[in-house]
Structure 1
Amino acid sequence: MKTIIIAEVGVNHNGCLKNAFQLIKEAKSCGADFVKFQIFKSENLVDENAEKAPYQKRNMSEESDSQFEMLKKLELSFEDFVEIKQECEKNKVKFMASAFDLESLNFLLNLNCDYVKIPSGEINNVPYLREFRNCNSKIILSTGMSTIDDIEFALEILTSAGIDKKSISLLHCTSNYPCDLEEINMNSMVTIREKFGVDVGYSDHSSDNAVSSAAVAMGASIIEKHFTLDNELEGPDHKASLNTKDFKKFVRSIRKIEKILGSSTKKPTDSEKETKKFVEKKIFASKQILKGEKFSNLNMTTKRSKSGINSRDWDLVCSKEAIKDFQVGDLIEIE
């Protein structure tokens, strides 16, 4: 099964529609399946006195600690997102977004996207989750900063609002930008899949491509990775994102893992079938066998040969008597 790869632009357009369009083109050239954005109204999202999160302070050089001021600079209008979705369609890459307030969520739900993503920070937001009663899209629920109980709570709210559980995918992630390898705990993605019986994926905030490759090998059907035009740009997420060159390598590594994984069916490949002809053992006489003598371990052996009775039929041959005389090294024949 092909892994869905999401290029998470988020706010890496820095509030500029031109940058958003360029990111769409670049993401498409990298092989991304979806380009994802974050939709919000700053005044609905944070209190004007709210401080930046620690990772936002760490990743930005501007002196102001105001989260509101930061977000206001990164905000795009609803009209902008209509154009962004059209630009995705023009570039033949799919649009996806997450909304961070109810007004933005209702706008997003009316865009009729294939998928809508619920951010990790909204996993316990009851009125937000209940708004999905109007959702006709598939849902991706991000589970950063959460426990199994938190996930179960969110799923109960969504399903009680009329959402089919089968239309929900759960994304494991670590909400640190970038996160250390010791924080990833990929085995919990498997726990989530086994516990809730839905498709799972991984939202990768690490700085190592091996992490998402491991996630795919462990059953992730969706991979999300932050994407930027330039890691040196000012903004909260650029440093934890991949630029165009690195995102291309990232996509190639995931597609390589898919080839390695293959299918769940155990069968010989075409090349193995050819090799098998030369290494399979057939049954030979190890000493002289006279007509009417019973075949046994005492008068037969196996050797590689392109013709003859396959060694897997050894017990069948041992139940038979020789139909003629055999000399040492002769291929055994039976009726």
Structure 2
Amino acid sequence: MSTLIIAEVGVNHNGHLNEAFKLIKEAKSCGADFVKFQIFKSENLVDEQAEKAPYQQKNMTDTSNSQFEMLKKLELSFEDFVKIKEECEINNIRFMASAFDLESLNFLLNLNCDYVKIPSGEIGNVPYLREFKNCTSKIILSTGMSTIQDIEFALEMLNSVGVDIKNISLLHCTSNYPCDLEEINMNSMVTMRKRFGLNVGYSDHSNDNAVSNTAVAMGASIIEKHFTLDNQLEGPDHKASLNVEDFKKFVKSIRKVEKILGSSTKKPTNSEMETKRYVEKKIFASKQILKGEKFSDLNMTTKRSKSGINSRDWDLVCSKEASKDFQAGDLIEIE
């Protein structure tokens, strides 16, 4: 099955609907399967005194340290998101979103999307998780900043309100923007798959395409990557995102890994079957063998040949007697 690639716009539209529309078109041109947004009401999400996270301060030139002011500039209305979902349908790319407060979550769940993503910061939010009681969408649970016990708690909570656990995929990530390679710990994605028996994926906040390629090679069925029109734009996530040209390369590299992975069935390829004809060993007489003489290790050998008895049938031939005389170098024939 092909890896689901999510172009994570997040708030990289900078609070402008027309920029969101541009990002949708470009995500489609890059080959993404989904384009994802973040839905929130700033007054429901943060206290007005809340400060920006360290990575937000680092990635922005704005001297204000207010997280509320930053988010308010990045906020789109519910009406905007109805239009965004319609624009996704027009451009034949699937819409996805994560919600960061209860009002936004209820709005999102009523959009009847194929997938809904639970952000890492909500994995222990009991009232938030309980709102999924009537969710008909598949769920992607992001697990940044979490332990196995945190994930288990969230799954139990979702299951307690009627969510079918089989409809949940777990997304490994490191919640730092960008994150260092030493922080990625990709083996924990495999641990989650083994522990919970669910599909897993990876939300890539690194600056190296090799990370997502590694995730796919290790079994990720979903890959998410932040996406922007311009890395130099003002905003918390632009610097940890891929621009259009880089996202195209990113998608191509993942599709290349999928080709390399191929099938789990071990069998010769068509090209190998052709080569096999020229390298397989057949059974030959290593010395003169007279009619009635028994074939054995002492009078036979193997050589490459297009025709003849395959060397895998050596023991079968050894149980037979020669029906005619053979000279050294003759292909062995049996009746």
Q: Give the structure-2-normalised TM-score.
A: 1.00
Q: Secondary structure at the match of 2:105?
A: helix
Residue of structure 2 equivalent to 1:85: 85
Residue of structure 2 equivalent to 1:21: 21
Cα distance per residue 1:7-64 (max 9 Å; x no partner): 0000000000000000000000000000000000000000000000000000000011
Residue of structure 2 equivalent to 1:33: 33
Mapped partners of 1:149, 1:20: distance in 2: 37
Mapped partners of 1:240, 1:161: distance in 2: 36
Residue of structure 1 equivalent to 2:230: 230
Residue of structure 2 equivalent to 1:328: 328
Give the superposition deviation at 1:103.
0.3
Residue of structure 1 equivalent to 2:106: 106
Q: Secondary structure at the match of 1:95?
A: strand
2:270 is equivalent to residue 270 of structure 1: yes
Residue of structure 2 equivalent to 1:60: 60
Mapped partners of 1:75, 1:186: distance in 2: 32
Residue of structure 1 equivalent to 2:142: 142
Letter in 1 for 2:131: E
Letter in 1 for 2:188: S
Mapped partners of 1:54, 1:320: distance in 2: 80
Mapped partners of 2:319, 2:255: distance in 1: 51
Cα distance per residue 1:187-210 (max 9 Å; x no partner): 000000000000000000000000
Cα distance per residue 1:144-186 (max 9 Å; x no partner): 0000000000000011111111100000000000000000000
Mapped partners of 2:19, 2:134: distance in 1: 31
Any unmatched runs of 5+ in structure 1?
Answer: none
Give the superposition deviation at 1:93.
0.2
Give the superposition deviation at 1:109.
0.3
Q: Secondary structure at the match of 1:15?
A: coil
Q: Secondary structure at the match of 2:232?
A: coil
Cα distance per residue 1:266-299 (max 9 Å; x no partner): 0110000011001100000000000111101100
Letter in 1 for 2:222: I
Give the superposition deviation at 1:114.
0.4
2:166 is equivalent to residue 162 of structure 1: no
Residue of structure 2 equivalent to 1:300: 300
Mapped partners of 1:319, 1:162: distance in 2: 66
Residue of structure 2 equivalent to 1:310: 310
**Any residues of structure 2 matched to 1:133-282 within 5 Å, and which?**
133-282=133-282
Residue of structure 1 equivalent to 2:73: 73
Give the superposition deviation at 1:3.
0.1
Give the superposition deviation at 1:213.
0.1
Any unmatched runs of 5+ in structure 2?
Answer: none
Residue of structure 2 equivalent to 1:9: 9
Mapped partners of 1:16, 1:189: distance in 2: 35
Mapped partners of 2:134, 2:105: distance in 1: 10
Letter in 2 for 1:60: M
**Could you tell me the percent identity over the aligned residues?**
85
Mapped partners of 2:322, 2:161: distance in 1: 76
- For these two proteins, the number of residue pairs brought into alignment is 335
Q: Secondary structure at the match of 1:328?
A: coil
Mapped partners of 1:242, 1:102: distance in 2: 30
Mapped partners of 2:20, 2:256: distance in 1: 29
Mapped partners of 1:322, 1:216: distance in 2: 56
Give the superposition deviation at 1:134.
1.4
Residue of structure 2 equivalent to 1:48: 48
Mapped partners of 1:289, 1:14: distance in 2: 86
Letter in 2 for 1:72: K
Runs of 4+ in 1 over 6 A off after TM superposition: none
Q: Secondary structure at the match of 1:153?
A: helix
Mapped partners of 1:161, 1:267: distance in 2: 46
Mapped partners of 1:171, 1:71: distance in 2: 24
Letter in 2 for 1:324: K
Q: Secondary structure at the match of 1:290?
A: coil
